[in-house]
Amino acid sequence: MRFNCISLTKSNSTDQFNLNLKLMKNRIFSNWKSSLLGIALLIICIILLFLKTITLSEFAAFFPTVASLLYVQDTVFTLNPQDL
């Protein structure tokens, strides 16, 4: 009986993980402008790191900015008519 409880817990956590993964993919692909900018900056940073233009510490300092661009909504890049 105890084994069934453990397996139910694992299946629930697996289902939750799959749901979170699906939501993450949906958020990245639905907000394609910021995701594209984040991926482009990540590629540029990696190229500069391999060319030794920037150091690993500079890359590590810039990485949270690049990672946050993958998850930010595209409303950051659009102006509301009320703001004009």
Tokens standing for residue 16: 């939750």
Q: What is this structure's pTM?
A: 0.65
Give the pLDDT of residue 5.
47
Give the per-residue pLDDT at 4: 47
Which pLDDT does position 80 carry in this prediction? 65
Residue position matching structure tokens 């949906």: 26
pLDDT in tens, the chain (84 residues): 444 444 445 567 788 888 888 888 887 788 888 889 899 999 999 999 999 999 999 999 999 988 888 878 777 666 666 665
Task: Spell out the residues 6+ positions from residue 26 whose beta carbon is closer than 8 angstroms to its own.
Answer: none
Q: What angle do CA 69, 73, 77 make, to 5 degrees?
A: 85
Burial tier of 19 (Cβ tally within 10 Å: 0-12, 13-18, 19+) = exposed
Check residue 58 and give its pLDDT: 93
* Residue 1 token pair: 């009986």
